[in-house]
A = this chain, B = another copy of it.
Amino acid sequence: SRSINLAVIPGDGIGQEVVAQGLKVLRAVLPQDVKLETKEYDLGAQRWHRTGETLPDAELEALKGHDAILLGAIGDPSVPSGVLERGLLLKLRFAFDHFINLRPSKLFPNTATPLAGRPDIDFVVVREGTEGPYTGNGGSLRTGTPAEVATEVSVNTAYGVERVVRDAFERANARPRKKLTLVHKNNVLVYAGHMWKNIFDRVAAEYPEVTTDYLHVDAATIFFVTQPERFDVIVTDNLFGDILTDLAAAVTGGIGLAASGNINPTGTFPSMFEPVHGSAPDIAGQGKADPTATVLSVALLLRHLGHETEAARIEDAVSADLAERDGGASRTTEQIGDALAVRVAD
């Protein structure tokens, strides 16, 4: 489309800084005739301290009117753990039915990895985004007493599993290696695990060209560090995906480079793009945060909205920028943003 009506939620900590650079690169890459409108939403720790609100209904309604959402980071040590995560970030993912949590992992040339031998890493994790242990089901009884019982219920539906599995098969089928790995823990979580595996096997029959594989989540973490090149597309549950994608980020140059999209492929609700990293309050406001993960999230946003050329331009710019980083003096958040903006505008 020739216009983008973007909601921006900078959020907390380094969120503000990295989002500013993401928007800068977005403006630089867009052709003149694509009109970009942005509206900033003041949500996060400060808002909560001021008003006690995390995501009021009116703002949830207003967000629905946008083509997409760019989010920086949510969370601050001054807010009890879970309040903003559940009340804002997860509320958005659930309200807007972001059932595809897309997290590409690629080891760019010249970037640091803790792995010896610099394996060839280029895979995508398709993390389910609206079910599993993230539903908020559960509770606590006799809270705070020695007789307390606390439960967490992982809720999984055939409806929810099939749609993410299908999406993952489509993505695998569109990639050169055409390989899809299901990660779960079906030897222990037998109810959910068997449902995932059965649906996976059934859908697999429709994609004869896609090679499939199954790994327990514990074994998968081993391969992430010993043989990450074996992965092409991974489909997994919400919690396993959370864990695996942080590990994936760590082995591919760190959380400063990991992008993500919370996608509603039906288009019923706006999709939301955010770096995988958190708000990093310890370095907030110092110009130390790497905005690259946010910039790469902008690329995912553009691809989602049909601007493939611009998405690829951003990814190429990041690649080129990273290739030249080695040995150079460390740059500020803004300098990295500027460098990327110059490259994509070329």
Contact = CB atoms under 8 A, between A and B. Distances in A.
Interface string A240-256: 00111111011100110
A329 interface: no
Given A144-B198, A148-B157, A218 B242 contact: yes
A221 B192 contact: no
A329 to B, nearest CB: 22
B186 A133 contact: no
Interface stretch (A8-16, A79-87, A286-294): A79-87
A315 to B, nearest CB: 23
Given A82-B186, A158-B146, A249 B225 contact: no
Contacts of A152: 133, 153-154, 156, 189, 191-192
Given A149-B155, A151-B154, A151-B155, A85 B187 contact: yes
A138 B191 contact: yes
Contacts of A90: 188
Total copies of the chain: 2
Interface residues of A, number: 69
B162 A146 contact: yes
Nearest to A112: B116
B247 A221 contact: yes
Nearest to A90: B188
A189 B133 contact: yes
A32 to B, nearest CB: 41
A343 interface: no
A210 interface: no
A142 B152 CA distance: 22
Interface string A171-214: 00000000000000111111111110110000000000000000
Nearest to A137: B151
Contact of A156 (B142, B150, B158, B225): B150
A22 interface: no
B191 A217 contact: no
Given A150-B192, A152-B154, A222 B247 contact: yes
A156 B151 contact: yes
Interface string A218-244: 110110111000000000000100111
B157 A149 contact: yes
A31 interface: no
B243 A243 contact: yes
A140 interface: yes
Given A146-B162, A218-B247, 15 more contacts: A82-B186, A82-B187, A86-B188, A114-B226, A115-B225, A133-B154, A138-B154, A139-B191, A140-B195, A143-B195, A149-B155, A152-B191, A153-B153, A153-B154, A222-B255
